Amino acid sequence: MVNPAIIAANDTTTLQFENIFIDLPEGSYITQVSLNGNFHGELFNQTLVTGQLSVGGAINISSITFPGQPIIPTFLLGQEDILIRMVINNFRPDTLQIDPANTTLVFRLAGGGQIDPAILNLRRIDSQTIIPPPPQNSATLEFLIDIPLTGLVLDEYWIQGFAQASDGINPPYITQTGLSEARFVITSDAQLSYLDNSFIPIEAIRGQTIQPRVQIENSGRAEVRLNAVTSNLIIRNATDSISTSLDANYIITGEDTVVISFNSVQIPTNLPTGLYNIRLNLRGTLQTGDPFDTTLVSSNQFTVLRPSQLVLQNFDIHFANVVRGQTGIPAVIQLQNLGESTAELITLNYRFRDSLGQNVTNQWVKTGSNLTIPQLINPGATITFFDTLSVLSNATLGPIYAGLNYVYHDILRPSVDSTRTLDNLDTVTVITPGQIYIESTTISGLPNPPYANTGQSLTVQTLIRNNGQETLQNIKVKLLLQGVPIDSAYIPQPVRQ
């Protein structure tokens, strides 16, 4: 700098430096200014980057840029048709022909080795063939690249420019930039999301074993490889949770939706019922080998229910007494589901025991019903069976104690049956049918019994008894003489044993 300078606060000052001799290889250089002085008596030192200096002979590359992008842009795996511009300047008085074979871009991993341009599908799309002389002494070249889905790591990359041109007389003029004339970053656009309400099953009962499945969408273009060991699902509410890991490694390609499954897990029998949220911790790697980690959450995706519970509400055999061989005996059975899940009734059988506790079920037959088995009973619903029974003609006499046996399962857990056996629900007495017999017959009103004259009046008295346990009434008695009816009588009142 020619003279010391004072830079006032909130002021701008132009600093002029002495002439220098440039003795550097051709290329592009970063220029810096080192400022030294004092500030309120304290030493002051600061280094500023002031720009870029191109050093060359006949030609040089003045810039490599990404039009419309930040200085160091970020691109995604799978992104295509990325435009790069390179400006070449001509300092000769003659028009120069661009050598397309030796005018190109070279790519490197930051601080690393050179990358084959074919991986990036490097191609030139402009039609420039010459660099005019001053004053319009520049040519703008345009290139396109594609970021592949595989073959590159997620990192920063450097671009170096090379150019060669000739006037046809002198040897070709050659120039190149520094290794990192332009820079860009490659990142992944793998974007996983949970499809709301795709959780299967949507509900389960306590004690049930489930294998959860969900649908995951990858709206990005990068492939994700999920790891079964480190990825897991958590089903939770405010206070309780259960978790399980992926049942296998999964590959989710770009712009695809897949179903992923988790290992089977049993719902604890003491887990509170109600709605639960889900949390998906999905971890693995990208195609590039870089780690991938995302967490997806969704509310009210799963419901824990109380298992179905079938209880007896009513059992009634309508007749208190039946006779041997009687048919059409009406009976009613009523069951209600007190659980929160649907029950399937798979068997329903009557049980009968005599006063000694002996099983006499085989003496009773169900001959009809309004419903057939199996039956589904929804939560809170009641089902009523109207049956008809028959008793065998040789059935055990006396009081018979009726009961019930039924088997059901929850449709969400069909492999586990619940059995209920209930005895002494009702009592029915089996009696013998009414049996009429004539105990005695006497004749009165004859002066010389047992002889009677023609036309003489007489009285015939018949004693009738009921030898059965069933009351009889409306009995009609006929009087026969040598097999021919000669009189009859009607007994309307009941005749009991």
Q: What value does the mean pLDDT of the chain take?
A: 87
138/120 Cα distance (integer angstroms): 27
298: part of which helix (H) or strand (E)?
Answer: strand 291-305
Asked if 84 and 144 sit in the same domain, the reply is: yes
Residue 10 lies in a domain: no
Residue 409 lies in a domain: yes
Among residues 305, 321, 339, the one where a domain terminates is 305
470/332 Cα distance (integer angstroms): 24
pLDDT for 16 equals 73
Please give the average per-residue pLDDT across 444-469, as a whole number.
Answer: 70
Cis upstream peptide for 171 (omega within 30°): no
102 φ, ψ to 5°? -115, 15
Q: Which residue has the higher pLDDT, 469 or 205?
A: 205
Q: What is the domain count for the chain?
A: 4
pLDDT for 98 equals 96
Residue 45 lies in a domain: no
pLDDT, tens digit, 9 for 90 and up, residues 422-456: 999 999 999 886 555 566 677 777 777 777 777 77
Asked if 409 and 481 sit in the same domain, the reply is: no
Residue 158 lies in a domain: yes
Handedness of CA 465, 468, 469, 470 (dihedral sign): negative
Does residue 26 contact residue 60 with C-beta atoms inside 8 Å? yes
Please give the average per-residue pLDDT across 362-384, as a whole number.
Answer: 96
Residue 467 has pLDDT above 60, yes or no: no
Strand segments (E) across 91-222 = 96-98, 104-109, 114-115, 123-124, 130-131, 138-145, 156-166, 173-176, 182-187, 192-194, 203-205, 209-210, 213-218
Residue 93 lies in a domain: yes
Among residues 305, 332, 355, the one where a domain terminates is 305
Asked if 114 and 163 sit in the same domain, the reply is: yes
366-373 contacts: CB < 8 A, separation 24 or more? 367/327, 367/328, 373/345, 373/346, 373/347, 373/348
370 φ, ψ to 5°? -80, -15
Residue 47 lies in a domain: no
pLDDT for 58 equals 86
Asked if 412 and 292 sit in the same domain, the reply is: no
pLDDT, tens digit, 9 for 90 and up, residues 225-277: 999 999 999 999 999 999 999 999 999 988 899 999 999 999 999 999 999 99
Please give the average per-residue pLDDT across 109-129, as a whole number.
Answer: 94
Does residue 192 contact residue 216 with C-beta atoms inside 8 Å? yes
Asked if 377 and 458 sit in the same domain, the reply is: no
pLDDT for 259 equals 97
**What is the CATH number for 108?**
2.60.40.340
Asked if 182 and 64 sit in the same domain, the reply is: yes
Asked if 388 and 427 sit in the same domain, the reply is: yes
pLDDT for 475 equals 64
Q: Give me the domain span that covers residue 476.
A: 436-491
Instruction: Determine whether 284 is exposed, middle or buried from the number of CB atoms within 10 Å of its CB (0-12, 13-18, 19+).
Output: buried
Asked if 233 and 327 sit in the same domain, the reply is: no
**pTM for the full model?**
0.58
Residue 85 lies in a domain: yes
pLDDT for 278 equals 96
Task: Count the helices and strands in the chain (H runs, E runs).
Answer: 0, 39
Does residue 123 contact residue 143 with C-beta atoms inside 8 Å? yes
Among residues 154, 187, 220, the one where a domain terminates is 187
Asked if 268 and 387 sit in the same domain, the reply is: no
**What is the CATH number for 360?**
2.60.40.10
Q: Of 372, 345, 346, 360, nearest to 423 (Cα)?
A: 360
**Residue 469 CA from chain centroid, whole number:** 67
Residue 14 has pLDDT above 80, yes or no: no
Q: Which residue has the higher pLDDT, 242 or 495?
A: 242
pLDDT, tens digit, 9 for 90 and up, residues 34-45: 888 876 666 777
166/95 Cα distance (integer angstroms): 9
Please give the average per-residue pLDDT across 320-328, as a whole number.
Answer: 93
Asked if 408 and 444 sit in the same domain, the reply is: no
pLDDT, tens digit, 9 for 90 and up, residues 64-81: 999 999 999 989 888 899
Asked if 230 and 317 sit in the same domain, the reply is: no
Residue 25 lies in a domain: no
Asked if 104 and 121 sit in the same domain, the reply is: yes
